[in-house]
Structure 1
Amino acid sequence: MPFVDSAEECYDYIIVGAGASGCVVANRLSRTNKTLLIEAGGLDSSWEVLMPQHCGLTWGDERFSWPIMSTPQVHLKNSKSTTAYLGKVIGGSASINTMCWMRGNQSDYDSWASLGERSNSAPILVPVACVNKSDNYYYGMYPNNKKEMAQRDWFVNHTGPHTSLGLDVAAIIKTDKKLDRPNANFMFVDSLYGPFPGGNLFQRDHSETPGYMCAVSNAQVFSRGSVTLQSSDFKDEPLVDYDMFSDNRDVQNAIEGVKVVRQIFEHEALSDDVQTVVLPPPHVRSEQELEGFVREMVGSHGYYSGTCKMGSYSDSMAVTDNQGRVWGVGNLRVVDSSIIPDAPSGPLVSVCTMMAEKICDKIQEPQQQF
């Protein structure tokens, strides 16, 4: 990675953070402007980053990620804390996550057009549909000699099972047709993760037990958390409080999502493939039992948004306008997931990429006020 030779060097733009949005902005602005991109992490050239099948190896590795430990979540079983990992590498979290490129649902963005008061421009985001395709392998079911072959295929030719994350099917659905928006996000994984219960759901279980699972997440989140300072010492970690399940609608949506997945796995079409349903345990059936289950098992995907939400000047919670310009501060924009006013129903990398492209369009317009 190139370094700045002189502290006295001048730049047209300084971009702090080489995540998905930062890389897009740097790419666009550096074509015609002298631009400095600052990133705490290193290059994304390590095999741990490049190999899709083992992206989980980067989580918790201080070379590639920032561990984000929440405060105790009082609405979860035993008030447990949860840990998620944000990218500390070129590409940011997009370099270490599960490569899920999902635009969410159109209804996620319906309110964005009215945000901001500085221009009468169209919404900054026009969602586009993209598909990541890969061969469908079932690495978790391979015997050891096959795994050795798979490793050789990857390191020699970048082919074989390691090119697939094993997360090839996802869905955003309504658990009730009467709902006006989807409320559940499903990600089907062709191997077992663990440890269970109550641990890190994204830590691969290295046992040889064949199986598959579905991670359920809420496509609408009603609980609201906070990020605050722990002290006046900048070296101290911030206090991250999701306040998970503080709104009971989130609890109910999680329960309904689990019910739908259970119906899928118990369907007769899968009867030849499913020998045992491990979670939820078969005896967990009542509403009360399912509520206890989700309060114990819930964790964080690490898709953070909304801490610098965009909105109108009259909105006391808004930090930026709809072009990322910080209210009351000149020559400063925020262009990342923190300005998203409401969390989309899917992963954030596609949203951040398109949002950065659209904001760069505005920055590069003639006579544009930065």
Structure 2
Amino acid sequence: MTEMKFDYVIVGAGSAGCVLAARLSEDPSVSVCLLEAGGPDSSVLIHAPAGVVAMVPTKINNYAYETVPQPGLNGRRGYQPRGKTLGGSSSINAMLYVRGNRWDYDHWASLGNPGWGYDEVLPLFKRSENNEQFQNAFHGQGGPLNVTYPRFDSPLSQMFLDAAAQNGVPLNPDYNGADQEGSFLYQVTHKNGERCSAAKGYLTPNLNRPNLKVITHAVSAKINLEGRRATGVQFYQGNQLQTVRACREVVLSAGAFGSPQLLQLSGIGDASDLAPHSIAVAHNLPGVGKNLQDHIDYVQSWYVPSNTATFGAMPRGMFKTFAAMWEWRRHRTGMITSAIASAGAFFKSHPDVAIPDLQLVFVLALVDDHARKMHISHGISCHVDVLRPFSRGTVGLQSTDPRVAPVIDPRFLSDERDTQLLVKGGQMQQRIMESSAFASVRRKMLYPVRVDDAKAMEQDIRNRADTQYHPVGSCKMGPDSDPMAVVDAQLRVKGVDGLRVADASIMPTLTGGNTNAASIMIGEKAADLIRASKQNKPLGAIL
């Protein structure tokens, strides 16, 4: 095995990992190594915003994981796309910029995680952001992550806003501001008509730093431990096993599936989970791979005429798409700059609920099974999500080979409260989509169900609902009094020195909305914590 040595070794160049690598390497006196299992983010499908429709349903820059069969989904296997390239899932997602609700972060703090309340994380959101439209106390300018409205939008997005208003959901353009509730056009992570992923915003501008090394196609296999201290990482490039030493710290930013998988492969986890794989227990930490949470998502779709400003597979629509590709190539304008998901809303399932517990995402296309089922037609769709699900799942090992996918079990709808909420959300969604605002374009429903037939809607949910791509929580942050906590409020792995986790897996509970912005904030927070750590000293003699 060959060996390299750096101060910090970061596993995973996803949303948080890119932030962490960029921030730590701002200090020229330290060296940083960033390991990424995927390749460079050079594909035009990444940089052209509409390329999301080609990547999410395929294995292009995508792990394209599957879950175990889900009893709550009539035994179906769920689909779990995850980014496999620089930028991670921020390079293949729909680019919606959503922070969640103030309550989410105050709740984290109330669970025994000091420093994570809303007033404390808001400056981190602002530091990361360059918002082209909003200049107020809730938004930042000059940050690496560019946030704006897409250069293209469809008149159908305004129809959605009108339909929401017809159903009592008022307009609220700045849903990341003082109040989350209402309908809006989504802001997105775009810059000059291109995707602004975490890699594009944080990593690419700094690749020439002499103290930053990025290694792609590097599949992390094991955290090296000397006693109870992390000293480096073993990783595969092809079939060659290599080692990189960490003189200060190892930080896992491999996501809600990758981080617990690597901990378990390294003997850090629940002893009963490791025993079937004959992995020696280095540290018994029962919470690793537990507490998995994800937004369960129900999509309804309607056909529309091919002359509408939507994406579709009809000959006329394909001609429009090719013309749009040429326009994007020349000017970075037109339909290819669309995020496809254009408008949305946050609303309450009942007036007595304190904060929105349901989210809508309006899409300018006919969506069926994550776009894996294609239809020769044009259409519009809407997603509804349960924002704070009660169901909890797990992430475990399928093999001791790190190149084999982990066992993912979200246990969707295992708590009946999620089912009831999703039915309520589906009913509201359908009432909005079947409002008179859409009358001029709306045609037949792809999977017809009556809005007043709750049992039929529940059956349709169990037949077709799946993830909204926001897995979190599998390396839960919490105090020592929480037996399932994996990291403390400093993101240090409990019982192991020199090892942290910094990604969506540390979230104790799901945020109320898309999770990419929150993951970037976690990267910013981790950088501050590492730089401020009084114990942040080189290992010296033991290396």
What TM-score does the superposition give when structure 1 sets the normalisation length?
Answer: 0.89
- 1:203 matched to 2:354: no
Deviation at 1:309, TM superposition (A): 0.5
Match of 1:17 among 8, 12, 18: 12
SS at match of 1:257: helix
User: What residue is the counterpart of 1:133 in the other structure?
Assistant: 149
Partner of residue 329, structure 1:
496
Corresponding position of 2:475: 308
Q: What one-letter code is carried by the residue in structure 2 that aligns with 1:202?
A: A
1:110-160 deviation digits (Å, cap 9, x = unpaired): 22224557xx64646325556530120424265444332211112233221
Q: Secondary structure at the match of 2:385?
A: strand
Distance 2:507 2:317 in 1: 44
Query: Which residue of structure 1 aligns with residue 525 of structure 2?
Result: 358
TM-aligned CA distance change 1:10 to 1:143, over 3 Å: closer
Matched residue SS, 1:354: helix
Q: How does 1:95-174 map to 2 (within 5 A)?
A: 95-115=91-111, 121=115, 123=117, 125-126=121-122, 131-134=147-150, 135-137=152-154, 138-140=309-311, 143-174=317-348
Deviations 1:66-97 (CA, angstroms, capped at 9, x unpaired): 121111101222x1111111111000001001
Native 8 Å contact 2:392 2:410 kept in 1: yes
Give CA-to-partner distance per residue, 1:240-271, whole Å, 9 cap, x none.
11111110011011101111011112222322
C-alpha separation between the residues in 1 aligned to 2:372 and 2:328?
A: 22
Q: Residues of 1 paired with 2:419 and 2:2: CA distance?
A: 51
Shift of 1:13: 0.5
Structure 2 distance, partners of 1:247, 1:18, is: 34
Q: Secondary structure at 1:213's aligned position in 2?
A: strand
Q: Distance in 2 between matches of 1:214 and 1:242?
A: 22
Q: Secondary structure at the match of 1:320?
A: coil
In the alignment, structure 1 residue 219 sits paired with structure 2 residue 387: yes
Of all paired residues, the percent bearing the same amino acid is: 34
- Indicate whether 1:186 and 2:376 are aligned: no
Shift of 1:181: 2.8
CA 1:202–1:220: 2 relative to 1, 3 Å? farther
CA RMSD of aligned residues (A): 2.2
Measured in 2, the distance between the counterparts of 1:266 and 1:174 equals 19
Structure 1's 61 and 271: CA in aligned 2 closer, same or farther, altered over 3 A?
A: closer
With 335-344 and 230-239 compared, the bigger mean Cα shift is at 230-239
Whole-Å Cα distance in 2 between the matches of residues 175 and 55 of structure 1? 30
Partner SS, residue 16 of structure 2: helix
**Contact 2:324–2:336 (CA under 8 A) maintained in structure 1:** yes
Which residue is equivalent to 2:221? none
> Which residue of structure 2 aligns with residue 3 of structure 1?
none
Residue 36 of structure 1: aligned partner: 33
1:25 touches 1:356 (CA, 8 Å); kept in 2? yes
The runs of 5 or more residues in structure 2 that have no matched partner are: 127-137, 140-146, 155-308, 538-543
Q: Deviations over 1:303-329 (max 9, x none)?
A: 110000100011111000112111111
Q: Does the 8 Å contact 2:387/2:511 carry over to 1?
A: yes
Cα deviation, 1:21-66, whole Å, max 9, x if unaligned, reads 0000000001112100110111112111111112131235445111
- Does 2:410 align with 1:242? yes
Tell me how far apart the structure 2 counterparts of residues 292 and 284 of structure 1 sit (CA, whole Å). Answer: 13
Of 43, 47, 50, which residue of structure 1 is paired with 2:47?
Answer: 50
Count residues with an aligned counterpart: 355
The one-letter code of the counterpart of 1:227 is: V
Residue of structure 2 equivalent to 1:26: 21
1:70 alignment partner, one of 61, 67, 72:
67
Instruction: Please state whether the residue corresponding to 2:9 is helix, strand or coil.
Output: strand
- The farther-off stretch of 224-233 and 137-146 is 137-146
Supply the distance in 2 between the matched residues of 1:165 and 1:181 (Cα, whole angstroms). Answer: 27
Is the contact made by 1:56 and 1:203 (CA closer than 8 Å) also made in structure 2?
no
Q: What is the deviation of 1:10?
A: 2.0
Measured at CA, do residues 110 and 366 of structure 1 come closer, stay the same or move farther in structure 2, by a change above 3 Å?
A: closer
- 1:268 alignment partner in structure 2: 436
Larger relative contact order, structure 1 or 2 (CA cutoff 8 Å, min sep 6):
2
Q: Structure 2 length as normaliser, TM-score?
A: 0.62
The answer for the alignment partner of 1:253 in structure 2 is 421
Q: CA–CA distance in 2 between the matches of 1:231 and 1:149?
A: 47
More strand, by proportion: 2
In structure 1, C-alpha distance between the alignment counterparts of 2:472 and 2:495, rounded to whole Å = 21
Segments of 5+ residues of structure 1 without an aligned counterpart are: 1-5, 195-199
